[in-house]
């Protein structure tokens, strides 16, 4: 008789404390992980979709978008040659989190400098 | 022949071991940061991908603790642009530079000390050990230190032949060991540790109300 043994691992939530009190996390960390493990254009696209959905879901549910999410999404938009949209999201990050303002301002001015150069 | 599906419950034993020595929070309270910059982690292990994978697990625990955490991927790329690609270079930099470049109140330096899987006959041990150092960018003071060890022991239930098969199966899936839950748990436990963790930050309802817990 053959026996198939299937091992089940306890879900990550039990191990990692994924219950959020303050934010709608969506797939932010999965998006980061995808970019770290899959550098292809497809991987970037996947990460992009995850972040987009994270933002949409949090906004629709009236949850606060976590620190870094608008900023990171803005950066992906910039990498996808959408500087205007990128700037819009960098501004959102700074509005929601004043701690981010110096960095967002400097990133935005870098983008502006690149754009004014021929 | 009947195929029987036997679901052996993996015995998952998680052991957490935290730093127990006392920490003087005087500097921390005097310079309570609002924002934390995550920089690429140092690594004393042979797992070359550990720092990058770890970096995907730290935003949530720190943000839920009430801190502003800078966008991880954007930060990593900006540091790369500046030629600051490894921990040794980052440690040499004056902490005030992180204030100048990022506007960060504090920088979290991390070293990954263990990131491994050991296979035993009937079980496997996955271990993650990380040390943490939070540095103030204005005063260069070390505001907080911590170290966290998380071990996940899994063994096949049932024992006997089933147990042996379970061990074989778990050995086969070695390439798929996901360290993220352990890294996330280490990060969560170390900042939440009683008397020894990170007092909560400005986005937490208990901001500046929990100091007595750390005295």
How large is the ipTM?
0.84
Pairing of strands B142-155, B68-69: unpaired
Interface mutation vs chain A, best among B11, B53, B74, B127, most A CBs within 10 Å: B74
Task: Report if residue A11 sits inside a domain.
Answer: no
Question: Is residue A10 scored above 50 in pLDDT?
Answer: no
Min Cα distance B23 → chain A (Å) is: 25
Task: Report if residue A1 sits inside a domain.
Answer: no
Q: Across the interface, do B59 and A17 touch by the CB < 8 Å criterion?
A: no
Nearest to B181 among A16, A25, A74 (CB): A16
**What's the CATH number for B11-193?**
3.40.50.10610
Task: Report if residue A37 sits inside a domain.
Answer: yes
Q: Name chain B contacts of A74, Cβ cutoff 8 Å.
A: 74
Instruction: Indicate which CATH number applies to the domain containing A65.
Output: 1.25.40.10
Task: Report if residue A31 sits inside a domain.
Answer: yes
What does the alpha-carbon distance between residue B20 and residue B140 come to, in Å, rounded to a whole number?
Answer: 24
Question: Is residue B104 scored above 80 in pLDDT?
Answer: yes
pLDDT at B162: 56
Q: Assign A115 a pLDDT band (cuts: 50, 70, 90).
A: confident
A55 contact partners, CB below 8 Å, separation of at least 6: A26, A65, A69, A70, A73
Min Cα distance A15 → chain B (Å) is: 6
Min Cα distance A35 → chain B (Å) is: 9
Q: How many domains does chain A have?
A: 1
Nearest to B10 among A2, A7, A32 (CB): A7
What does the alpha-carbon distance between residue B167 and residue B158 come to, in Å, rounded to a whole number?
Answer: 11
Scan for tokens 């006997």, then name that residue.
B160
B104 contact partners, CB below 8 Å, separation of at least 6: B35, B36, B37, B70, B98, B137
Task: Report if residue A2 sits inside a domain.
Answer: no
pLDDT at B14: 59
What does the alpha-carbon distance between residue B11 and residue B15 come to, in Å, rounded to a whole number?
Answer: 13
Domain that holds residue A24: 20-116
């Amino acid at each position: 008789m053959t026996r198939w043994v299937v091992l089940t691992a306890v879900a990550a939530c039990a191990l990692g404390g994924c219950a959020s009190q303050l934010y709608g996390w969506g797939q932010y960390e999965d998006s980061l992980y995808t970019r770290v493990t899959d550098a292809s254009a497809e991987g970037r696209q996947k990460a992009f979709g995850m972040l987009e959905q994270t933002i949409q879901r949090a906004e629709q549910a009236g949850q606060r978008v976590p620190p870094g999410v608008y900023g990171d999404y803005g950066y992906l938009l910039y990498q996808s040659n959408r500087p205007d949209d990128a700037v819009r999201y960098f501004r959102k990050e700074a509005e929601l989190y004043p701690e981010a303002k110096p960095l967002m301002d400097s990133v935005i001015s870098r983008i502006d400098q690149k754009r004014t150069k021929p | 022949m009947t195929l029987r599906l036997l679901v052996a419950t993996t015995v998952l034993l998680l052991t957490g071991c935290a730093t127990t020595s006392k920490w003087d929070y005087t500097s921390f309270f005097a310079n309570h940061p609002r924002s934390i910059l995550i920089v690429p982690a140092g690594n004393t292990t042979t797992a070359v991908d550990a720092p990058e994978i770890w970096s995907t697990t730290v935003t949530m625990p720190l943000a839920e603790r009430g801190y502003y955490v800078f966008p991880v991927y954007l930060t990593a790329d900006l540091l790369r642009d500046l030629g600051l690609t490894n921990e040794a270079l980052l440690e040499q930099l004056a902490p005030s530079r992180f204030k100048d470049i990022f506007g960060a109140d504090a920088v979290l330096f991390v070293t990954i000390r263990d990131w491994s899987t050991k296979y035993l006959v009937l079980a496997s041990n996955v271990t993650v050990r990380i040390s943490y150092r939070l540095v103030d960018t204005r005063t260069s003071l070390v505001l907080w230190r911590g170290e966290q060890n998380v071990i996940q022991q899994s063994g096949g239930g049932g024992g006997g032949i089933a147990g042996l098969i379970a061990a074989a199966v778990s050995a086969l899936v070695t390439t798929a060991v996901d360290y993220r839950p352990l890294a996330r748990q280490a990060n969560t436990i170390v900042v939440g540790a009683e008397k020894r963790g990170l007092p909560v930050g400005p986005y937490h309802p208990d901001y500046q109300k929990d100091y007595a817990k750390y005295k």
